């Protein structure tokens, strides 16, 4: 094993699970050629998140000068135990309402200390770092030394959404493993196996999730929301097209009561829907990621999306999603967006 490995892949592709599986494999007492046994004493400790020589680092909010991951270990345990596939947004929501999260420089002495300890379980020590791109520059500079020469029998298993966002000084010291997005079939199969989802619905969800298993699980857990989003989206687009001030006002009141996360999900959903309309317009029905119900609406709505407005509309949804993330007044974002959408929907082909 190289002493530092970076698994880089988009959210929901299982980079964290790979890091974890490697740590378990290295520690397993009866590993086979291709996997850990899953049943020995060590595997048992991994299965219950109790392996004493496996340490976790992840982005957190700043509490004081010594802030590090262990300050949020309770929330972290709850999160990983609920489902090892989770998104950055879900983690953020669990620990903060507004603040920025990072891996701070004060994380590094804790890592150094953990890896210098005598191995409690007698096997290799593994430091798992989730979302390495959220490590600030100070921390990145400070970690270089231990990354290059970790204490004996110590290993780094790190994850990032993309290698592009990692400093070259770090990249040059790790073994990079690029993890590709999952196929729709893989996602649908996992939903069926792990959640008992029926085949038809699993495929519908896989289309929406776009290669992101964490998102698929999120949609599966909130399919009502997804159906609600479609209903909301239909009403909203009709109101925008007609410039129906009352309907827009009513909708803005409803949407502004959503959590900020849900507001962003609505705008992300709108963005997804608009993009799929273009695929639909090109007659690539089987490529358009629509559920049956969405397709019915798309038959009416897609003709209003075309090469003269799709870029502008996508940018509007993106900007709205970002504004919500920055705490801009939710009703103003929604109304302003609706009026701009009205103009775009009336643009000629
Ligand atoms: Zn084992």
Residues 164 and 16 in one domain: yes
CA of 3 to the centre of ligand 1 (A): 21
Do 130 and 12 have their domain in common? yes
174 and 116 fall within a common domain: yes
Reported confidence tier of residue 348, pLDDT bands at 50, 70, 90 = confident
- In angstroms, what is the span from residue 25 Cα to ligand 1's centroid? 7
Distance (angstroms) between ligand 1 centre and the Cα of 20 equals: 13
What is d(CA 77, CA 157) in angstroms, rounded to the nearest whole number? 18
- Does 334 share its domain with 200? no
- The rounded Å distance from CA 238 to ligand 1 centre is 57
Burial class (CB in 10 A: 0-12, 13-18, 19+), 122: exposed
**233 lies in the same domain as 201:** no
pLDDT tens, residue by residue, 83-128: 778 888 889 988 987 788 999 999 999 999 999 988 898 889 999 9
Q: Please tell me whether residues 257 and 202 are part of one structural domain.
A: no
Asked whether the beta carbons of 125 and 155 are under 8 A apart, the reply is yes
Q: Which of 254, 322, 197, 300 is closest to 290 using CA atoms?
A: 300
| Number of structural domains in the chain | 3
Both 38 and 71 in one domain: the answer is yes
> Does 23 share its domain with 145?
yes
pTM: 0.67
Asked if residue 304 and residue 192 are part of one domain, the reply reads: no
Provide the CA 81 distance to its chain's centre, in angstroms.
17
Say how many Å lie between the CA of residue 235 and the centre of ligand 1: 54
Q: How far is the CA of 80 from the centre of ligand 1 (A)?
A: 20
* Structure-block tokens of residue 49: 């998140």
Q: Summarize pLDDT for 199-226 with one digit per residue, the tens.
A: 888 888 888 788 888 888 887 877 566 6
Closest by CA to 320, choosing from 309, 306, 331, is 331
Q: Are residues 165 and 290 in the same domain?
A: no
Residue appearing with tokens 């890592």 = 111
C-alpha gyration radius of the chain: 23
> Could you tell me if 27 and 145 lie in one domain?
yes
> Of 121, 153, 178, which residue constitutes the final position of a domain?
178
**One domain, residues 161 and 192:** no
Residue 286 domain boundaries: 223-345
From ligand 1's centre to the CA of 1, what distance in Å? Answer: 18
Counting runs of H as helices and runs of E as strands, what totals does the chain give? 16, 5
């Amino acid at each position: 094993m190289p002493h530092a490995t970076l698994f880089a892949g988009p959210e929901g592709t299982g980079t964290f699970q790979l890091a974890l599986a490697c740590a378990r494999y290295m520690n397993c007492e009866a590993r086979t050629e291709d996997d850990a046994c899953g049943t020995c004493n060590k595997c048992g400790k991994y299965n219950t998140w109790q392996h004493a020589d496996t340490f976790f680092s992840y982005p957190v909010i700043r509490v004081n000068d010594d802030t590090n991951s262990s300050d949020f270990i309770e929330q972290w345990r709850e999160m990983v135990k609920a489902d090892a596939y989770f998104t950055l947004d879900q983690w953020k929501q669990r620990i903060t309402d507004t603040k920025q999260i990072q891996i701070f420089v004060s994380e590094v002495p804790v890592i150094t200390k953990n890896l210098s300890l005598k191995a409690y379980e007698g096997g290799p020590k593994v430091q798992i770092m989730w979302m390495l791109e959220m490590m600030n520059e100070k921390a990145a500079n400070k970690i270089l030394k231990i990354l290059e020469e970790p204490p004996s029998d110590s290993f780094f298993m790190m994850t990032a959404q993309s290698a592009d966002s990692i400093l070259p000084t770090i990249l040059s010291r790790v073994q990079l493993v690029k993890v590709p997005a999952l196929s729709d079939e893989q996602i649908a199969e996992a939903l069926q196996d792990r959640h008992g989802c029926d085949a038809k619905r699993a495929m519908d969800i896989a289309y929406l999730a776009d290669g992101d298993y964490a998102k698929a699980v999120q949609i599966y857990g909130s399919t009502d929301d997804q159906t609600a989003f479609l209903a909301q989206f239909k009403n909203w687009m009709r109101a925008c097209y007609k410039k129906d001030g009352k309907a827009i006002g009513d909708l803005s009141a409803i949407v502004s009561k959503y959590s900020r996360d849900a507001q962003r999900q609505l705008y992300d959903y709108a963005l997804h829907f608009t993009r799929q309309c273009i695929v639909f317009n090109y007659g690539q029905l089987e490529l358009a990621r629509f559920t049956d119900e969405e397709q019915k609406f798309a038959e009416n709505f897609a003709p209003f999306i075309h090469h003269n407005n799709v870029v502008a509309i996508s940018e509007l949804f993106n900007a709205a999603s970002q504004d919500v993330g920055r705490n801009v007044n939710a009703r103003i974002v929604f109304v302003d967006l609706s009026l701009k959408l009205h103009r775009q929907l009336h643009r000629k082909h």
